[in-house]
Amino acid sequence: MKSEHIPKATIKRLAMYVQVLETLKREGSQVVSSELLARACSVNPSQIRKDLAYFGEFGVRGVGYHVQDLIYSIKHSLGVDRVWKCALVGVGNLGKALLRHQDFKFRGFDIVGAFDCDPFKIGEEVSGLEVVCTRRLKDAVKELGIEIGLITTPVNRAQRAANFLIEAGVKGIINYSPAMLTVPSDVYVEYVDFFHHFYSVAFSITLDRKQDRPGVDSTDEDDA
């Protein structure tokens, strides 16, 4: 597998494919066409076929992709079919929502540490985890083998949280705050933002009304 040449945008799409495939699997689907997978991921079928070509040929002509095989192949090829220990920094509403989310561990992402700098939160227990002072992050990362950091702090605390994670040696950060982070080139940051979903919906409703037709065009080539 020519992983050494997989572009970042492809990795993002592969991640989305796996997530959608796992949803299909949960719903009992054994086979999926590239057209259906494309619709669910809002990319075009040719793009999906191109992306999956990194892992050799999976598709069965006239049948589609075997959901389970495809999930396994992508995750195994990329070496992510294992448990990833995660630390969450910032135990506010969103932090608690993520800590209480049941699916993470099931999907191989185990949040083993919850950190906050608020003395009123330190010591509090959230879904079985005791909230610990962020200053103790570095030790926890070493002791628990944490590889991924989730930042759910207010925007003005996000860079500080990132600095703690980077100093602790964490190479992967998922940032739920709207802050743009400054990180070394060997640290990968995934920005989570709720707003593009809102804009997507608002755009679609508006265009539907302008165009007076059901649904916006999802068949056009992505890069038409």
Kind of pairing, strands 172-175 and 84-89?
unpaired
125 near a copy of itself (CB under 8 A): no
What is the Cα–Cα distance from 140 to 137, expressed in whole angstroms? 5
62 near a copy of itself (CB under 8 A): no
97 near a copy of itself (CB under 8 A): yes
Fill in the per-residue mask, 158 to 177: x = in contact with a copy of itself (CB under 8 A), - = not in contact.
-------------xxxx---
Kindly tell me which residue out of 66, 96, 121, 157 binds a copy of itself, with binding defined by CB under 8 A: 96
Of 125 and 217, nearer to a copy of itself (C-beta) is: 217
Residues with Cβ within 8 Å of 54's Cβ and at least 6 positions away in sequence, in order, are 1, 2, 3, 6, 10, 14, 77
Min CB(102)–a copy of itself separation in Å: 9
- Extract the tokens encoding 1: 């597998």
Min CB(17)–a copy of itself separation in Å: 9
User: Is 156 flagged in the annotation as binding?
Assistant: no
53 near a copy of itself (CB under 8 A): no
CA 190, 106, 167 angle in degrees (round to 5)? 40
Q: Return the sign of the alpha-carbon dihedral for residues 30, 35, 38, 42.
A: negative
Decide if 131 contacts 115 (C-beta within 8 A): yes
User: Is 201 flagged in the annotation as binding?
Assistant: no
- State the number of binding residues for a copy of itself (CB under 8 A): 89
Q: Return the sign of the alpha-carbon dihedral for residues 37, 11, 148, 67.
A: positive
Kindly tell me which residue out of 34, 44, 153, 159 binds a copy of itself, with binding defined by CB under 8 A: 44
Kindly tell me which residue out of 78, 117, 122, 129 binds a copy of itself, with binding defined by CB under 8 A: 78
